[in-house]
A and B are shown apart, each in its own frame.
Chain A
Amino acid sequence: MTDTPAQIFRDSDSDRGFRMKWWAGRTAIYGVLALWAVICLFPIYWTATTSFKMAPNVMQGQMIPWPAEWTPEGDWAKKLFYEPKWKGWESIGLSPSTIGQESTVRAEFLKRFGNSAIVALSASTLAVVLGSLAAYGLSRFRYRFGFMKNDDISFFFLSQLILPPVVLALPFLVLYKELALLDTRIGLILLYTLTVLPIVIWIMKDQFETIPTELEEAALVDGLSIWGAFLTIILPIALPGMVAAFILSLVLTWNEYFFAALLTSTHANTLPVMVASQTGSQGINWWAMAALSFAAILPLVIIGVLLERFIIKGMAAGAVK
């Protein structure tokens, strides 16, 4: 038997056309996805690798850090690979050779980093506490503050979102000067809490409205007070929403630049102010700036990778009603 047995099931020509189309569609979709992923991630890769470069690497534009002994021969390799050096990280005192020594630049960096962390964490915590309470109250009870009813109060809170920071900035500058709050962390914390509070209230209100009131009713019948029911029954259920609100607040407050630039000068500077103050003066000294920028974005990159679920949940709240 030389000839192959005849196929019983065969793709007709129209089916084959369909498959072709399907494959083309898949390729296009994954192409778009890959392209956009490169657009999103390349700047991060660029910053991370640039922090290990030296002046010649910057000027020749090599892209891939690669140990010298493994670098293959040839001109193409010289154009692509470079030997990573710790120079950039030395400039903020965080390289292996400088980590053990006293370093003023590192102390400066860590101070700014600490300021950013304290301000962002405290402001987010305060906003989540105040915002959750308000959102719970608004979703459960009927209020009347003067002429304002529930909907008006909600709108009052949410309308703060429209307020551009620049409107508050200069009055706050003058007020803080009189109150001796200029260049203090507390001053920044108060303002940051104010800016993220509407977002927290929005997310939390959405969260509480999905929890049935029967839960509290049962708890109240069992003899808990309103606050007892809220703290022991409702809060644990609403925890994912609170985490989402907290992380979104953290992202916004960690990255805030405008208020920090206006209201701090030497003591309470946050990381973005430090980064901004060095961008102009560094010239082609890219490795130092890259190390600093990368250190500034790293905490949020890690949070983004680990807690992406919560961020998406937070942003999706309110989108779907």
Chain B
Amino acid sequence: MSGGDQLHVVTSDDISDNRRRIGRGLIWGSAGLLALVALAQAAQVLGWRDFGFANWRPTLYAYCLFATCLCWAQVIIRGEQGKRTLFVLPAALFVVSLTIFPLLFGLLIAFSNWNLSSLSGRQFNGTANLVQMWHDPFYWNALGNMVIYVAAIVVEYAIAFGLALILAGQIRARKFWRVAFLMPLMLSPVAVSWMIGKSMLEPRFGPLARLARALGVEQPSFFESPWMAKLTIMVLDAWTFIPFMMIMLLAGLQAIPKELQEASRVDGATGWKSFWEITFPLMLPVSVTAILIRIIFKLKLADIVITITSGGPGGATDTVTSFIFREYRERSNVGYGTMLAMVYLVLIVIGMTILMKLAARLTRPRT
């Protein structure tokens, strides 16, 4: 992926010692300022001395100053090389300060009992949250639901593949179909959960309920029984994300050289055989990418669950995210919620690593 096609430019940089010194001074000076401000704020929080800070904003400003100086000093110290670093450094600093730091901070929270609405503040409580999690049937139930939700991707994939095949074939008004099929992806899940979940599926007046009654279902209800509710949520989520998979698969199909299919036709393969022997194996890498990305998005599923069923009936539709959201809303305990989220993250990282290893093996060209 890297290495081959890169820009190799040799530039002669004449950087005086003085310039280097200024650059280093900039970095260390701003870092010192940041440390000083942070220390002063910490001192106030710990009650050693009152500096009159209302919040931690001054530290934030000092950090922004430090980040700017760090970028600027790259150019001063390293000249041309520094200018190249400047392409990646801002994004890297941004991501590091917005994920690594909160994650570390989250670890701290995860091992504490912290009710935001009570005045007592944060108390370290060791592994009590872990023990509580172990005995929390609703969390395990939510994890189990996630497995079922992820399994539904197989069906989504099949439908998306079918639609992509049709769209890649010879049809009229291709652009119209593409725009129409793309629409569900553009809609806000919250609006969709009202449009479909709360009105079209409404048991008395919703058009889908009427349709079900016309087809002979007595008293149709879509969110009463646990399995029906789970299925409805799956269908809704599939409705939103099938276009996404469809577009990726369509791009893959259009990249297959026409000669291959023509050659297979000359050799006498038709229909199913041509699909299974030629198209499907060629589409394997794209399929794997699409499915992996879809799994990642599926693991974040929450909006429609929160707004339609809020996890009900009896936690049957809960996802991990919606469960933690509710847990926080009801008890405003950040400590326990963060512990649940952290465990979820660990599970995801392990699961995704295994999946990516498997995918790499699956898509490796057979020789």
**A interface with B by C-beta (< 8 Å):** 29-30, 32-33, 36-37, 39-41, 43-44, 46-47, 50, 58-59, 61, 63, 130-131, 133-134, 136-143, 145, 149-151, 153-154, 156-157, 160-175, 177-180, 190-191, 193-194, 197, 201, 209, 212-213, 216-217, 220, 225-227, 230, 251, 254-255, 257-258, 261-262, 271-273, 275-276, 279, 284, 286, 289-290, 293, 296-297, 300-301, 303-305, 308, 311-312, 315-316, 318-321
- Inter-subunit contact A226/B83 (CB<8 Å): yes
Q: How long is the Cα–Cα vector from A273 to B188 in the complex, in angstroms?
A: 11
Residues in chain A near residue B180, CB distance under 8 A: 37, 40-41
Contact of A301 among B85, B183, B293 (CB under 8 A): B183
A142 touching B92 in the complex, CB below 8 Å, given contacts A46-B199, A166-B344: no
- Inter-subunit contact B205/A227 (CB<8 Å): no
- Inter-subunit contact A141/B321 (CB<8 Å): no
Contact of A166 among B186, B188, B324 (CB under 8 A): B324
Q: What's the minimum C-beta distance from B102 to chain A, rounded to whole angstroms?
A: 4
Residues in chain B near residue A305, CB distance under 8 A: 179
Contacts A40-B180, A315-B251 aside, 12 further interface pairs with beta carbons under 8 A come to A41-B183, A43-B200, A58-B205, A134-B87, A134-B88, A140-B6, A145-B92, A162-B348, A179-B57, A216-B7, A257-B306, A319-B248
Quick one: closest A residue to B84, CB to CB? A141
**B interface with A by C-beta (< 8 Å):** 1-3, 5-7, 9, 54-57, 60, 80, 83-88, 90-92, 94-95, 98-99, 102-103, 105-106, 109, 114, 116, 162-163, 166, 169, 171, 175, 177-196, 198-200, 204-205, 207, 210, 239, 243-244, 247-252, 255, 285-286, 289-290, 293, 296, 299-300, 302-303, 306-307, 320-321, 324-325, 328, 334, 337-338, 341-342, 344-345, 348-349, 352
Residues in chain B near residue A154, CB distance under 8 A: 1-2
Q: How long is the Cα–Cα vector from A138 to B90 in the complex, in angstroms?
A: 13
- Inter-subunit contact B181/A36 (CB<8 Å): yes
- Inter-subunit contact A172/B198 (CB<8 Å): no
Q: How long is the Cα–Cα vector from A311 to B186 in the complex, in angstroms?
A: 10
- Inter-subunit contact A130/B90 (CB<8 Å): yes
A194 touching B94 in the complex, CB below 8 Å, given contacts A133-B87, A141-B6: yes
Count the A-B residue pairs with Cβ separation under 8 angstroms: how many?
306
Q: What's the minimum C-beta distance from B19 to chain A, rounded to whole angstroms?
A: 18
Residues in chain B near residue A131, CB distance under 8 A: 91
Q: What's the minimum C-beta distance from B355 to chain A, rounded to whole angstroms?
A: 11
Q: How long is the Cα–Cα vector from A193 to B184 in the complex, in angstroms?
A: 23
Residues in chain A near residue B55, CB distance under 8 A: 178-180
Residues in chain B near residue A315, CB distance under 8 A: 244, 247-248, 251
Residues in chain B near residue A316, CB distance under 8 A: 247-248, 250-251
CB-defined A-B contacts under 8 Å, sample of 12 = A37-B177, A63-B207, A161-B293, A165-B300, A226-B84, A255-B187, A257-B188, A257-B190, A272-B189, A286-B199, A297-B188, A304-B179
